[in-house]
Structure 1
Amino acid sequence: MRVVDPHVHFWQLDLGIQPWLETPQPNLLGDYSPMARDFGPAELLAGAGDIDIEAVVHIEADATDPLRETQWLTGLANEAGAPDLIGALVVGADLSAPNAHEMISRQMAACDRVRGVRQILNVHADPLYDYVGRHYMREPEWRAGFALLAEHGLSFDLQLYPGQMPAAAQLAADFPDVTFVINHAGMYVDRTTPAGWRAWRDGLTALAARPNVAIKLSGFGMLDHDWTPGSIRPLILQAIDTFGVERCLFASNYPVDGLYAGYADIWRAYAEVVGGVSAAERDALFADNARHVYRIDAANP
């Protein structure tokens, strides 16, 4: 199976920039201590099985020093075990910080594969699910930093919960020149009532109304540790129906979702769920859309 994987994480613990991995604390992932080990291209390829990984997009991994992470990844990209494995980087940046412009500029100077920025936005009333504890999208300073993305030709990886989607849809309308990529199928978190489903479904509809928004179908294990192809099928089909094949990207979220399933098992489950699509649609979902969205093989903007 040919894939371009648009959501992977690499790390090296002795860099000292991922304290959340160095001292694991139970959260929505459950006990993630098995993940607290070095993980790079060699480990990814070793566990790929029969999956032909043509390229990956590295997504920032909550590093305390995002520039250090980018510099390390630049060296890693030059040493990767497969030619051009790391096709693009989505780097970390605090867009509310006064030095956001300097940080983004330095990261782009460090690596010509920088294509976007991610700053996790997840806020939730339940502390188990709350990532950041503040509503960045409401802050004028953050919005001023967000405007830098269009100036630099960068996309934004949008990780949030359904309750935040109306605000994000307005953000996408306010910044039409920025490509937004929803992470992890919109993280359908409130699963105990019909209202939770409606919030997720209607939030996706609002975001899909903006032509500059795409969605990654990934991360299902984070909120459904015992997922099966049957349990993720409604989410995948709803997202594809809402956004259309041309704006959907399958991704592994490895090694995080490796806590719940093997790498090849994840991709085979996706293939089972969309087994009835055409060959062209399959190529789009599994590889071509990722290449397009993250401008893999393109010159740095």
Structure 2
Amino acid sequence: MTSPHFPVRPDWLAQRREAVLAPEQPIFDCHHHLWDRPEGRYRAEELMTDAQDGHDIRASLFVQCRTGYLTDGPEALRPVGEVQTILGWTQAQPRYPVGLIACADMQLGAKVAPVLAALTGAGQGRLRGIRNATAWHGDPAIRSNPNPPPDGLLRSDAFLQAAQELARAGLVLDIWAYQTQLSEVAAIARKVPDLTVVVDHCGGPLGLTPYRSAEAFDAWRKGLAQVAALPNTRIKIGGFGLTVMGHRYADAPVPPDSAQLAEDWGPHVQVCLDLFGPDRAMFESNFPVDKGQFSYRTLWNAFKRLASPLGQPERDALFWRTAAQTYGIDESLFTP
């Protein structure tokens, strides 16, 4: 299937170049992808161009996206190729990424243990967690993956058994799910209390019709509250460039500025902060997925605007400390 993401248009993005706000704020970009696909390339060079564009990006975290899988050998071990590929691409910049979220088939259940061991070995000390493709909706218009997964993965006994193996291995579980699946996310976190569960992209609030309504917003908030009530959960704030969020900045003649983004995203960000607090929330770029809608510089300026009413300890939590603690990253990277 074709990509559901907006294409990256450098000439369009270049029309908006605002000054960097709070350039002294250290940042850990805790969610980005790397790939080389027909629709575009985003490898080490492209990542570093963004990371060095004015904001103080001290380190980053790669999240699986089916890059460079092995093409032979046991099917379960083919995601090891992604870890090898990413480390090969980024060997000159070991902090970008400083950690990796890989893929392991959670439908293997308890048999995922040797796969986790293989990924850990390939990761050379940088493997931090696992994520699967699990965002599913019955409406085919709601799609954030070129190959959407089937329904029911998060509810399966196998997924729960694999989650228990992650906890034993000391790995984090990242989950990308839509708001309609948040009760399933909460069930996993409740049944495996020793596992840290990170909910990606604000818990998947949907902005497409018929979900662009006050009732849908309230349903998202209530679903997310179930997750936030569990102490072993965390949330990534971002992903607003995803088509399923409903924003259509890419349709405008010029890119949005950070003031517009902060205004548009404010209600969702405030709910995330009210439910999780800065000590369990973290800002993410979700690049290059979101790059079709706004630039890296504008994105982080928007987050800085949204965090500006908070004190410095709370801002540090959102921009780096929560993510560093969640993923076991050396905090000295972000301090003087």
Distance 2:212 2:184 in 1: 23
Tell me the CA shift for residue 193 of structure 1: 2.8
| 1:208-265 C-alpha deviation (Å, 9 max, x unpaired) | 1000000000101112232722110110011101111111100100111111010010
Does structure 1 conserve the Cα–Cα contact (< 8 Å) formed by 2:33 and 2:288?
Answer: yes
- Letter aligned with residue 183 of structure 1: D
Residue number in structure 1 paired with 2:323:
290
Q: Which residues in structure 2 correspond to 1:6-25 (within 5 Å)?
A: 6-11=30-35, 13=36, 21-22=37-38
Q: Secondary structure at the match of 1:157?
A: strand
- Letter aligned with residue 54 of structure 1: R
After the TM superposition, which of the residue ranges 133-142 and 209-218 deviates more from structure 2?
133-142
Residue number in structure 1 paired with 2:172:
155
| 1:35-76 C-alpha deviation (Å, 9 max, x unpaired) | x22212321221231111100010001345421110112223
Q: Which residues in structure 2 correspond to 1:58-77 (within 5 Å)?
A: 58-63=62-67, 65-77=78-90
1:274 pairs with one of 264, 285, 307:
307
Residue number in structure 1 paired with 2:231:
211
Does structure 1 conserve the Cα–Cα contact (< 8 Å) formed by 2:137 and 2:151?
Answer: no
Residue number in structure 2 paired with 1:225:
248
Residue number in structure 2 paired with 1:240:
273
Residue number in structure 2 paired with 1:113:
126
Distance 1:241 1:55 in 2: 27
Is residue 2:154 matched to residue 1:137?
Answer: yes
Distance 1:262 1:235 in 2: 20
Residue number in structure 1 paired with 2:104:
93
Q: TM-score, normalised by structure 1?
A: 0.86
Q: Secondary structure at the match of 2:271?
A: helix
Count the aligned residue pairs: 275
**Structure 2: tracts of 5 or more residues without a match:** 1-22, 70-77, 250-259, 332-336
Tell me the CA shift for residue 284 of structure 1: 1.0
**Pairwise CA RMSD:** 1.7
1:128 pairs with one of 129, 137, 141:
141
Does structure 2 conserve the Cα–Cα contact (< 8 Å) formed by 1:247 and 1:289?
Answer: yes
Residue number in structure 2 paired with 1:46:
49
Tell me the CA shift for residue 189 of structure 1: 0.8
Does structure 1 conserve the Cα–Cα contact (< 8 Å) formed by 2:62 and 2:97?
Answer: yes
| 1:53-112 C-alpha deviation (Å, 9 max, x unpaired) | 1000100013454211101122234222xx523111000111103652222211101111
Does structure 2 conserve the Cα–Cα contact (< 8 Å) formed by 1:87 and 1:297?
Answer: no
Distance 2:120 2:79 in 1: 12
Tell me the CA shift for residue 114 of structure 1: 0.3
Does structure 1 conserve the Cα–Cα contact (< 8 Å) formed by 2:179 and 2:223?
Answer: yes
Residue number in structure 2 paired with 1:250:
283
Aligned-residue sequence identity (percent) comes to 29
Distance 1:105 1:199 in 2: 39
Does structure 1 conserve the Cα–Cα contact (< 8 Å) formed by 2:60 and 2:96?
Answer: yes
1:37 pairs with one of 40, 49, 53:
40
After the TM superposition, which of the residue ranges 275-284 and 133-142 deviates more from structure 2?
133-142
Q: Secondary structure at the match of 2:158?
A: helix
